[in-house]
Structure 1
Amino acid sequence: MEVTPVAVTLSPKEIKVIKCNGVGTCKKKKHNMYSLPKDYLSHIVVIDDQIPDRNCTSCERCCMDYGGWLQFQQVLYRIVKDPIFELVITVCIVLNTMFLALEHHGMSESVFRALDVGNKVFTSIFTFECTLKLMALSKEFFHCGWNIFDLIIVSASLLDLIFELVDGLSVLRGLRLLRVLKLAQSWITMKVLLSIIISTIGALGNLTLVLLIIIYIFAVIGMQLFSKDYLAEKFNPDPVPR
């Protein structure tokens, strides 16, 4: 197959034209189509090797080797978008949830240490994942709500480790259970159910307010009807006010 470079005035750079005419397989990836004469339109494949820039405008001025950074960032982008990478993270989420479920009152010291080590390992894995996505996506990272959600959970996990080291407290560990919601990214049924729940939050809020008003009304009515029948001496030994 002969490859002939052709200069096009409407294009900012040289393109390659492959005369395949739709016969056989063409392995070149088609990115952008430029305006060419009609006699070329039946047998062209345009190749654009420009690396996309996902960074903010000030990054180019701050980076010494911006071209090298873009190439490295593109490699990271391919890694985080790879299905195998997403599968590994999904398996880690499931395992982390199982580790959290194994915690119980009165567990032995060996079990406690094993779960604590597992917690630190999973926190390191998810921190590494979040860092990779931040480097690969740059400002596009914050365009996805799941990424922001994951960043919050990772930050809470790191703060939990800091509090545990300083004061021996573990006040934010429960937030890590929310990470299981990330399974909705790959589990379509769960994603649909979460979307339905989120879309009905407004209606549920109004319904909850109506229920609270009804409960308050009946509480006042009950107090008015039965307050005279209250016998204080029946509860004299009981220190709890009634």
Structure 2
Amino acid sequence: MNFSKIQSFSIRLKTNKIFELFVIGIIVFSALLIGAKTYEIPTSAMSVLKLLDWFITFIFLFEIVIRFIAEENKKLFFTKGWNIFDTLIVIVSLIPIEDSELALVGRLIRIFRVMRMVSFVPELRLLLNSLLRALPQLGYVVLLMFIIFYIYAAIGSSFFAGINSELWGDISISMLTLFRVMTFEDWTDVMYEIMDVHSLSWIYFLSFIFLTTFAFLNMVIGIVVNVLEDEHSKEKEAQDKEEGKLTIEDLSAQINELKKLISNK
């Protein structure tokens, strides 16, 4: 069997839906196996789990090899971040470090094998890519939120420390208390305790909640949704190009070229 036949077989296997579902099932089974190891189980059962763990690792290795052979341009395979991530996870999982000082690292790497679900499911990959793309814009929102937190924490520590030092003793503890208020974790108990001394302190708490929970969190959601829509449109354009369909930009470019030809004539 020559390499071209092996490559064609790899391409058919890679694009086969049954094979994809099989690998996804193995990833889910790997996650369940990791969870099973957190319980106290007999030594014999642990030996079986170790054998299953090696079986899963070799299936992942086989799947990576199939994907690599199916790639027409082998140099482009490791230019994709998810291919690098999957390969590193599989290679490190093959290193026998269970009984060494690096056993904790080995277990941690095996836990991250669950992340391979993201690289296999396009929808999950799209969501994660959108979240990563939104991080620079989210950074400014987080910075502004921190400023609001700091100002309100300084006010709370200055005025409420004498009422409850455990919640308002210094600015760092005050910021933790405000995070509790923002997440609505028994925030009314905090507010009513202060209102017993300062009757108008409800203005402080309500204004903080409106600024953080309602305003800033909605801004975060809006940024993520906008980036997600952009990712969807880019993916659709890429699919249209692969299928030979013309995009709006291509049509407008062709129309402009035709106008130039007509005007030149």
Alignment map for 1:132-151 (pairs within 5 Å) = 132-137=66-71, 138-151=74-87
Per the alignment, do residues 175 and 210 of structure 1 end up closer, same or farther by CA in structure 2, a change over 3 Å counting?
farther
| Paired letter, 2:70 | A
| Paired letter, 2:83 | N
Alignment map for 1:108-127 (pairs within 5 Å) = 108-127=42-61
Q: Quick one: distance in 2 between partners of 1:192 and 1:167?
A: 37
Per the alignment, do residues 212 and 146 of structure 1 end up closer, same or farther by CA in structure 2, a change over 3 Å counting?
same
Report the counterpart of residue 154 of structure 1 in structure 2. Answer: 90
Per the alignment, do residues 217 and 129 of structure 1 end up closer, same or farther by CA in structure 2, a change over 3 Å counting?
same
Residue 124 (structure 1) shift? 1.4
Q: Quick one: distance in 1 between partners of 2:111 and 2:33?
A: 10
Higher helix share: 2
SS in 1 for 2:117: helix
Q: Quick one: distance in 2 between partners of 1:76 and 1:220?
A: 62
Residue 119 (structure 1) shift? 1.6
Report the counterpart of residue 205 of structure 1 in structure 2. Answer: 139
Q: TM-score, normalised by structure 1?
A: 0.52
Q: Quick one: distance in 2 between partners of 1:190 and 1:136?
A: 23
Report the counterpart of residue 44 of structure 1 in structure 2. Answer: none
Per the alignment, do residues 109 and 185 of structure 1 end up closer, same or farther by CA in structure 2, a change over 3 Å counting?
same
Q: Quick one: distance in 2 between partners of 1:109 and 1:147?
A: 35
| Paired letter, 1:197 | L
Per the alignment, do residues 164 and 186 of structure 1 end up closer, same or farther by CA in structure 2, a change over 3 Å counting?
closer
- Verify the 8 A CA contact 2:14 2:67 in the aligned structure 1: yes
Q: TM-score, normalised by structure 2?
A: 0.48
Q: Does 1:176 align with 2:110?
A: yes
Q: Quick one: distance in 2 between partners of 1:87 and 1:174?
A: 25
- Verify the 8 A CA contact 2:14 2:66 in the aligned structure 1: yes
Alignment map for 1:62-81 (pairs within 5 Å) = 68-81=2-15
Q: Does 1:190 align with 2:105?
A: no
Per the alignment, do residues 183 and 163 of structure 1 end up closer, same or farther by CA in structure 2, a change over 3 Å counting?
closer
Per the alignment, do residues 204 and 163 of structure 1 end up closer, same or farther by CA in structure 2, a change over 3 Å counting?
farther
Alignment map for 1:74-89 (pairs within 5 Å) = 74-89=8-23
Q: Which structure has more RCO (C-alpha within 8 Å, separation ≥ 6)?
A: 2
Percent same amino acid among aligned pairs? 30
| Paired letter, 1:77 | I
Unaligned runs of 5+ in 2: 163-265
- Verify the 8 A CA contact 2:118 2:125 in the aligned structure 1: yes
Rg comparison, structure with higher value: 1
The alignment's C-alpha RMSD in Å is: 3.6
Cα deviation code 1:91-130 (max 9, x no counterpart): 1111111111222254332333232222221111111211
Q: Quick one: distance in 1 between partners of 2:153 and 2:106?
A: 36
Q: Quick one: distance in 1 between partners of 2:128 and 2:36?
A: 26
Q: Quick one: distance in 2 between partners of 1:91 and 1:207?
A: 39
Unaligned runs of 5+ in 1: 1-66, 229-242
Q: Quick one: distance in 2 between partners of 1:70 and 1:173?
A: 38
